Amino acid sequence: MQVQEPQLSSKQSIANHFKTGVLIVNLGTPDSPSTPDVRKYLREFLMDGRVIDFPFVFRWMLVNLIIAPFRSPKSAKVYQELWTDRGSPLKFYGEDVERMLQAQLGTEYDVKLAMRYQNPSMDAGLEAFRKAGYKKIIVVPFFPQYASATTGSVYEKTMEIVKNWQIIPEISFVNTFYDHPKFVQFFTEAAQQYMAKHEYDYFMFSYHGLPERQIRKGDCTGNTCKLGSCCDTIHAMNQYCYRAQCHETTRLLAKSLGLKEGDYMTTFQSRLGKDPWIQPYTDATIKEMVAKGKKKILVFSPAFVADCLETTIEIGEEYKELFEELGGEHWQLVESLNNSPLWVDLLEDLIKKA
């Protein structure tokens, strides 16, 4: 049986020619916390050549013969801890933001949530825009700092999907927002609530890590990144360096919160594999700080726009346990943007400028 495409009425069709489709895209999460669904998710995610940037055959063997079989059951257990009545936080916060942003932008825009891996898929979202015949599409990757593994991958996937369309409408991509005033305002206000109740003796800014190799590969200026103090300032030559953008986020937040030099640090978490990832590592820094007598630490996670496995479980539970076992007294994670109205305002700013 042949499936008929739904026909738009001519009034609807004309109205669509003046509309903009907005695809908000986060990383993705498994469909359920079962081992087979986690395995499916990890396979799709890690087979992306921008995430595990090894030649295809080597990547295929690594992912399908080692990582997916051995990691999936362990990761599934952690996802079961994270899962709520509404499912995975990464997804349900995305659904909340999709609804709130649609209400805020009005009928000139059609907002759809997509995930780079798994569901709802980018294919489905972009195909709906194509069928509707919108005049313009804006793609908004949900990553404050640029990395080839995240923002770069969303761009590549978008281009792969639209490359065979007869009509490719105007497409804009949001790039970064690590220095957006509303981004800084959100984390400042969220932190101030905790700082009003507790006196903290140290502040950690823990970002998702990346293999050092990927930072070097992204250095279009000819290996000027030495993975050291060169990333302490951001300028034209290193403006797309993930590490430099993370340091800049920290600097802006530290300034806005009035933190003193020496009372805070940028660190990197979530390593995978044996190759060196960018440093300092969050767990090593926790050990170092407790040894220096720091007892009350406030932790930020400004590489994520929604709380997820990496924030709630890794920082909020695993690192907290490590800190307390070592003798730390008070460990507090500052929540992500999640479904806050300020995040929706920030997105509106980015979209109106795109």
Q: For residues 338 and 311, what is the distance between their CA atoms, to the nearest angstrom?
A: 12
State the helix-helix crossing angle for 242-257 and 181-197, rounded to 10 degrees: 50
Q: Helix (H, G, I), strand (E, B), or coil: what is residue 197?
A: helix
Binding mask 201-230 for Fe ion (x = CB under 5 A): ------------------------x----x
Would the annotation count 198 as a binding residue? no
Answer yes or no whether residue 149 interacts with ligand L6N33NVT by CB under 6 A: yes
The binder of 308, among Fe ion, ligand L6N33NVT, none, by C-beta within 5 to 8 A per type, is ligand L6N33NVT
Q: Which tokens belong to 329? A: 């007294």
Closest by CA to 264, choosing from 279, 254, 249, 278, is 254
Q: Helix (H, G, I), strand (E, B), or coil: what is residue 53?
A: coil
Answer yes or no whether residue 218 interacts with ligand L6N33NVT by CB under 6 A: no
Q: Which tokens belong to 150? A: 């995240």
Name the one range near ligand L6N33NVT by CB under 6 A: 104-112, 116-124, 142-150, 256-264: 142-150
Q: To the nearest 10°, the Cα dihedral for 58, 63, 64, 65?
A: 80
Q: Which is nearer to Fe ion, 111 or 225 (CB)?
A: 225
Smallest gap from residue 170 Cβ to ligand L6N33NVT (A): 28
Would the annotation count 170 as a binding residue? no
Q: Which is nearer to ligand L6N33NVT, 20 or 153 (CB)?
A: 153
Ramachandran angles phi, psi of 49, nearest 5°: -65, -10
**What Rg do the C-alpha atoms of the chain give, in angstroms?**
21
Among 24, 25, 47, 90, binds ligand L6N33NVT (CB under 6 A): 90
Query: Cβ distance 143 to 303 under 8 Å?
Result: yes
Side-by-side strand order, sheet with 170-173 = 109-115, 20-26, 136-141, 170-173
Smallest gap from residue 174 Cβ to Fe ion (A): 20
Enumerate the β-bridge partners of residue 84.
87
Closest by CA to 347, choosing from 122, 99, 87, is 99
Q: What is the largest CA-CA distance in the chain?
A: 71
The binder of 230, among Fe ion, ligand L6N33NVT, none, by C-beta within 5 to 8 A per type, is Fe ion
Smallest gap from residue 247 Cβ to Fe ion (A): 9
Q: Which tokens belong to 81? A: 């801890």
Answer yes or no whether residue 118 interacts with ligand L6N33NVT by CB under 6 A: no
Answer yes or no whether residue 24 interacts with ligand L6N33NVT by CB under 6 A: no
The binder of 265, among ligand L6N33NVT, Fe ion, none, by C-beta within 5 to 8 A per type, is none
Answer yes or no whether residue 231 interacts with Fe ion by CB under 5 A: yes
Binding mask 252-291 for ligand L6N33NVT (x = CB under 6 A): ------------------x-x-------------------
Q: For residue 167, give every residue at least 6 positions away whose Cβ sits within 8 Å of its Cβ, in sequence order, or none.
A: 133
Smallest gap from residue 307 Cβ to Fe ion (A): 14
Answer yes or no whether residue 51 interacts with ligand L6N33NVT by CB under 6 A: yes
Binding mask 173-212 for ligand L6N33NVT (x = CB under 6 A): -----------------------------------x-xx-
Answer yes or no whether residue 150 interacts with ligand L6N33NVT by CB under 6 A: yes
- H helix runs in the chain, sequence order: 10-16, 35-46, 56-61, 68-82, 89-105, 122-132, 153-162, 181-197, 212-217, 242-257, 282-291, 320-325, 341-353
Residues that bind ligand L6N33NVT (CB under 6 A): 27, 29, 42, 51-52, 71, 75, 88, 90, 143, 147, 149-150, 208, 210-211, 214, 270, 272, 303-304, 308-310
Annotated binding site: 208, 310
